[in-house]
């Protein structure tokens, strides 16, 4: 991973995790573990198949000797053919392969859609679930904010406000800054590079753009700058409630 205060500043790569300790490797291990694990239904199927195999072998042996002793000539040839036929017809292959194959397909399809199962039992128990509690951010949502709209004050044009904000936010790594920059580029707005840039931890950014001092941030930053935002609070709360 890398750490940088500004997107265009030089960075020195630092390895935090390598090999089997990386997130990707752990995901691969989790999928493999889930595919190797056995669901309760599979354990029961394996248990039944184990007894069934012994019964089938016993019937096949009886068939071989039954045809060999009591069958028409060549009796032992007929006995061998019919014994093999019993093994082929009664072999519990479907019983032994159906469950593990379905588990493998389910875990693979789940992983391709971003859903990881810890073990096969979780897949089988899904049919019993009537209430599902899920983390929202990055799970049900995309994990990154998206830009909605600009509410410009009287005398200001929306695209110009967005262009100035995006130009300043080019130097920030905050997810909200990324959303603003993406929105400006989607509107084909021409962005300028600020001549100075300062990022305040958790409150916003400040900088100089074309000789103008610009500030972009939350109410804490506005209070530091002595800018009153009380007139905009009702509209902001209304948007937050949507």
For the annotated catalytic residues, the residue numbers are: 135
Inter-residue contact 64 to 90 (CB < 8 Å): no
Beta strands in the chain (DSSP E): 196-200, 204-209, 212-217
| Rounded (5°) CA angle 17-18-24 | 85
What six digits make up the tokens of 206?
A: 């400040």
Q: 101 to each of 35, 36, 58, 86, 123, how far by Cα in Å?
A: 9, 11, 28, 25, 13
158-169 vs 175-186: helix axis angle to the nearest 10? Answer: 130
């Amino acid at each position: 991973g890398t750490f940088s205060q500004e997107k265009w500043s030089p960075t020195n790569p630092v390895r935090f995790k390598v090999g089997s300790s990386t997130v990707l490797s752990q995901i691969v291990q989790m999928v493999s573990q889930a595919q190797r694990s056995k669901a309760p239904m599979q354990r029961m199927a394996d248990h039944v198949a184990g007894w069934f195999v012994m019964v089938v072998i016993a019937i096949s042996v009886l068939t071989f000797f039954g045809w060999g002793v009591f069958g028409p000539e060549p009796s032992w040839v007929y006995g061998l053919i019919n014994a093999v036929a019993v093994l082929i017809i009664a072999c519990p292959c479907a019983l032994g392969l159906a469950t593990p194959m379905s588990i493998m397909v389910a875990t693979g399809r789940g992983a391709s859609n971003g859903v990881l199962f810890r073990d096969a039992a979780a897949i089988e128990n899904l049919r019993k679930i009537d209430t599902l509690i899920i983390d929202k951010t990055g799970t049900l949502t995309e994990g990154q904010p998206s830009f909605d709209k600009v509410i410009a004050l009287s005398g200001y044009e929306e695209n110009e406000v967005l262009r100035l904000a995006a130009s300043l936010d080019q130097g920030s790594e905050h997810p909200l800054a990324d959303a603003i920059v993406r929105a400006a580029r989607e509107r084909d707005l021409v962005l300028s590079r600020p001549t100075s840039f300062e990022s305040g931890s958790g409150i916003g950014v400040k900088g100089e753009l074309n000789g103008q001092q610009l500030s972009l941030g939350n109410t804490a930053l506005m209070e530091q700058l002595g800018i009153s935002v009380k007139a905009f609070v009702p509209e902001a709360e209304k948007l937050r409630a949507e």
